[in-house]
């Protein structure tokens, strides 16, 4: 077989006996059983919960550390007419969680409740002291509730006490060596926690708090009918946040996203309907990919280039025209973000290509320029990793401050690489796959050299080459309409439940043609035995330009259902291929 820029293919091992057993127990096709086992679902009783995803499978909110105490304090504050401020992060998770909790408190009868979202560039991430002072003096806050931030706000929690502010922190981020001395901490992974699922996003934590508050205004065990309806509707916000924050779509995250997607399709709120209208999603299939590629980026654009307060305003308003106006502004903001991103990506790519080194000789990539917008450098870093498959740091220098955002390749510990050459950095933080840093501008070039050398010495041969993990090798005849429809029941796809990736060997190319405005995509048909299936390859026209009918392929793809003129058919979305000799 001759490789044509193919990635490294990793086929997952499988147990044929276990597959047949689960297929029989759960009444699903063997291929679906194979995919479920790959995702840790190996018992028949677990298959139904996974595929049906009932909300009855959600864990009791009272078992989430801090929730009962936090709910009691909030209910007391509402009844006493105290001033409550919800302090959220500026990303999708933060603004959705803020919107959810604010709406819950308003429904519960709160008359003195506001929200505050820090400005990404002017204030930065998390709880900051200046904001707390403003909330204490200008807003006269009695109680501040954080959403999606605060677990590292140790000095800020002490400041809150000095200011006389009651502070409830709700968060899901990594807990450090110590925790803030807040009045209440709500976090699924607090030391000693017995909560059965630690991977909620910030909005998910806020949802559990809202649920416990709703119980308090019911009979103590169940929410009132109005509160129950609100909570079910609020799963749309939880779905948005869970998908956008790339937390694992397992356990109750999967249940919340599945129900939230149904709400988005059939019963979106005024604000979400306006956002979907602006993104031209109405009347189209709504999946986790819709959130990840269309709705989420529009919300994030406000936090990247402007202020995210308008997003909460859109998500909480009941005024249709006002929501449409705000959604249109988000659409324009996203278009500006895309233009800024395209410009910086083009400049960054040119820098990499101009360094004169071969791909094999390249270690880590550090790119920097005066004026690059700090709100998009993380996206740019991801794009450069996609193009060159190397750990990448993109640094924007603005007003004498160099701020960088870093992204890694699979298997390479980016945080440790930065730590190893951190001399001179003003600050840095992150984890294996992503990180951020600040550095004096005059030290950027020297740091760039050290980071490149560090990556060169530690990157393995496998890490330097893109890898595609394949769920199963199948024959085209196994991809019946029923089998692929059953696979699509495994939605929502995302972190820890990736889209199934399959491989078929010895396929014969029947025909191929280009499509798209610039002819950049391809449409082809492949045959195996008596089965012929259509396939599409996005941005693959250049790679497949010299291929001809009759050639033999090994193909890696995602199986899809294509609907056209009310007819359904199986279609393959090509991920990669290897080509051999024609027959």
Model pLDDT for residues 282-302, shown as the tens digit of each residue: 988 899 999 999 999 999 888
pLDDT of 3 higher than 50: no
In the three-class reduction of DSSP (H, G, I as helix; E, B as strand; rest coil), residue 317 is classed as coil
Q: In the numeric block, which tokens belong to residue 347?
A: 């400049």
pLDDT of 369 higher than 90: yes
In the three-class reduction of DSSP (H, G, I as helix; E, B as strand; rest coil), residue 318 is classed as coil
Asked if residues 367 and 397 have their Cβ atoms less than 8 Å apart, the reply is: no
Altogether, the residues listed in the chain come to a count of: 583
What phi, psi does 508 have (nearest 5°)?
-100, 130
Portion of the chain with pLDDT greater than 90, in percent: 75
Check residue 21 and give left, alpha or beta (phi > 0: left; psi -120 to 50: alpha).
Answer: alpha
Q: Assess whether the previous peptide bond of 574 is cis (omega < 30° from 0).
A: no
**Pick from 207, 212, 239, 209: which is nearest to 223 by CA?**
212
* Confidence at residue 1, expressed as pLDDT on a 0 to 100 scale: 32
- DSSP assignment, residue 438? E
Asked if residues 494 and 246 have their Cβ atoms less than 8 Å apart, the reply is: yes
- Identify any residues that bridge with 402 across adjacent strands, giving them in sequence order: 397, 439
Q: What is the mean pLDDT of the chain?
A: 91
Check residue 309 and give left, alpha or beta (phi > 0: left; psi -120 to 50: alpha).
Answer: alpha
Asked if residues 500 and 474 have their Cβ atoms less than 8 Å apart, the reply is: no
pLDDT of 582 higher than 50: no
What phi, psi does 273 have (nearest 5°)?
-60, -45
- DSSP assignment, residue 536? E
Query: 555: Cβ–Cβ under 8 A, 6 or more apart, which residues?
Result: 503, 504, 507, 526, 535, 572, 574, 576, 577
pLDDT class of 6 with cuts at 50, 70, 90: low
Query: 45: Cβ–Cβ under 8 A, 6 or more apart, which residues?
Result: none
pLDDT class of 125 with cuts at 50, 70, 90: confident
* Confidence at residue 305, expressed as pLDDT on a 0 to 100 scale: 63
Portion of the chain with pLDDT greater than 70, in percent: 97
Asked if residues 221 and 215 have their Cβ atoms less than 8 Å apart, the reply is: yes
Q: In the numeric block, which tokens belong to residue 184?
A: 């209440």
In the three-class reduction of DSSP (H, G, I as helix; E, B as strand; rest coil), residue 202 is classed as helix
Q: What pLDDT digit, counting tens, does each position of 243-254 carry?
A: 998 889 999 999
pLDDT of 464 higher than 70: yes
Q: What pLDDT digit, counting tens, does each position of 46-94 carry?
A: 998 899 889 999 999 999 999 999 999 999 999 999 999 999 998 899 9
Asked if residues 388 and 365 have their Cβ atoms less than 8 Å apart, the reply is: yes
Kindly list the structural domains of the chain, giving each domain's residue range(s) and its CATH number in brackets, ordered by start: 2-13+468-579 (2.40.50.460), 61-258 (3.90.1640.30), 361-458 (3.10.310.30)
Cα 153 off chain centre by: 24
pLDDT of 542 higher than 90: no
Distance of alpha carbon 77 from alpha carbon 136, whole angstroms: 16
Q: What's the rounded mean pLDDT across residues 107-131?
A: 88
**pTM for this predicted structure:** 0.86
- DSSP assignment, residue 443? G
Pairing mode, if any, of strands 531-537 and 392-398? unpaired
Q: What pLDDT digit, counting tens, does each position of 145-182 carry?
A: 999 999 989 999 999 999 999 999 999 988 888 999 99
* Confidence at residue 170, expressed as pLDDT on a 0 to 100 scale: 97
pLDDT of 2 higher than 50: no
Asked if residues 491 and 509 have their Cβ atoms less than 8 Å apart, the reply is: no
Burial profile 483-503: b = 16 or more Cβ within 10 angstroms, e = fewer: bbebbeebbbbbbbbebbbbb
* Confidence at residue 306, expressed as pLDDT on a 0 to 100 scale: 63
Distance of alpha carbon 141 from alpha carbon 147, whole angstroms: 16
Asked if residues 95 and 315 have their Cβ atoms less than 8 Å apart, the reply is: yes
- Identify any residues that bridge with 437 across adjacent strands, giving them in sequence order: 404, 428
Q: What pLDDT digit, counting tens, does each position of 327-346 carry?
A: 999 999 889 888 999 999 99
**Pick from 339, 280, 329, 274: which is nearest to 306 by CA?**
329
- Identify any residues that bridge with 509 across adjacent strands, giving them in sequence order: 526
Query: 479: Cβ–Cβ under 8 A, 6 or more apart, which residues?
Result: 502, 531, 533, 559, 570, 572
Pairing mode, if any, of strands 567-579 and 531-537? parallel
Distance of alpha carbon 216 from alpha carbon 104, whole angstroms: 12
pLDDT class of 4 with cuts at 50, 70, 90: very low
Other C-beta atoms closer than 10 Å to the C-beta of 299 total 29
pLDDT class of 220 with cuts at 50, 70, 90: low
**Considering only 8-22, 56-70, 119-133, which range has the smallest mean pLDDT?**
119-133
Query: 79: Cβ–Cβ under 8 A, 6 or more apart, which residues?
Result: none
């Amino acid at each position: 077989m001759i490789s044509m820029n193919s990635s490294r293919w990793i086929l997952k091992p499988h147990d044929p006996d276990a597959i047949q057993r689960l297929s029989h127990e759960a009444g699903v096709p063997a291929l679906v059983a194979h995919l479920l086992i790959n995702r840790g679902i190996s018992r028949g009783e677990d298959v139904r919960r996974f595929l049906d995803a009932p909300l009855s499978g959600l864990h009791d909110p009272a078992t989430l550390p801090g929730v009962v105490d936090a709910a009691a304090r909030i209910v007391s504050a509402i009844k006493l007419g105290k001033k409550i401020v919800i302090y959220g992060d500026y990303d999708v998770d933060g603004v959705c969680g803020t919107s959810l909790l604010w709406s819950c408190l308003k429904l519960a009868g709160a008359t003195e409740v506001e929200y505050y979202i820090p400005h990404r560039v002017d204030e930065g991430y998390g709880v900051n002291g200046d904001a707390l002072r403003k909330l204490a003096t200008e807003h006269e806050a009695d109680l501040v509730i954080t959403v999606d931030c605060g677990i590292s706000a140790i000095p800020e929690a002490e400041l809150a006490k000095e200011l006389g502010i009651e502070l409830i922190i709700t968060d899901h981020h990594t807990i450090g060596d110590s925790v803030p001395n807040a009045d209440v901490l709500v976090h699924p992974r607090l030391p000693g926690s017995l909560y059965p699922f630690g991977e909620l996003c910030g909005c998910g934590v806020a949802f559990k708090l809202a649920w416990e508050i709703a119980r308090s205004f019911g009979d103590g065990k169940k929410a009132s009918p109005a509160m129950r309806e609100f909570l079910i509707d609020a799963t749309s916000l939880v779905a948005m946040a869970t998908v956008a924050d790339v937390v694992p779509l397992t356990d109750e995250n999967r249940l919340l996203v599945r129900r939230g997607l149904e709400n988005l399709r059939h019963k979106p709120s005024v604000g979400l309907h306006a956002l979907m209208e602006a993104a031209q999603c109405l009347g189209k299939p709504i999946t986790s990919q819709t959130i990840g590629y269309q709705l989420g980026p529009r919300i994030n654009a406000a936090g990247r280039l402007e202020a995210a307060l308008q997003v909460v305003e859109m998500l909480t308003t009941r005024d249709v025209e006002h929501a449409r106006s705000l959604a249109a502004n988000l659409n324009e903001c996203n278009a500006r973000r895309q233009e800024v991103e395209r410009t910086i990506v083009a400049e960054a790519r040119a820098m990499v290509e101009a360094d004169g080194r071969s791909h094999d000789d390249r270690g880590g990539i550090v790119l920097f320029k005066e004026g690059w917008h700090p709100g998009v450098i993380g996206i740019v870093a991801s794009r450069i990793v996609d193009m060159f498959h190397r750990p990448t740091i993109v640094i924007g220098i603005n007003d004498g401050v160099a701020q960088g955002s870093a992204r890694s390749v699979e298997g390479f510990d980016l945080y440790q690489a930065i730590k190893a050459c951190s001399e001179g950095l003003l600050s840095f933080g992150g984890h294996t796959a992503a990180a951020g840093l600040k550095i004096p501008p005059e030290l950027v070039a020297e740091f760039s050299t050290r980071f490149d050398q560090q990556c060169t010495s530690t990157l393995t041969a496998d890490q330097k080459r893109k890898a595609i993990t394949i769920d199963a090798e199948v024959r085209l005849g196994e991809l019946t309409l029923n089998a692929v429809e059953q696979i699509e029941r495994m939605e929502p796809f995302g972190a820890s439940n990736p889209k199934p990736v399959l491989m078929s060997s010895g396929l014969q190319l029947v025909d191929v043609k280009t499509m798209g405005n610039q002819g950049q995509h391809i449409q082809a048909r492949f045959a195996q035995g008596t089965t012929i299936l259509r396939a599409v390859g996005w941005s693959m026209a250049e790679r497949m330009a010299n291929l001809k009918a009759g050639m033999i392929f090994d193909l890696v793809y995602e199986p899809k259902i294509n609907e056209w003129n009310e007819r359904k058919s199986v279609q393959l979305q090509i991920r990669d291929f290897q080509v051999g000799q024609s027959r």
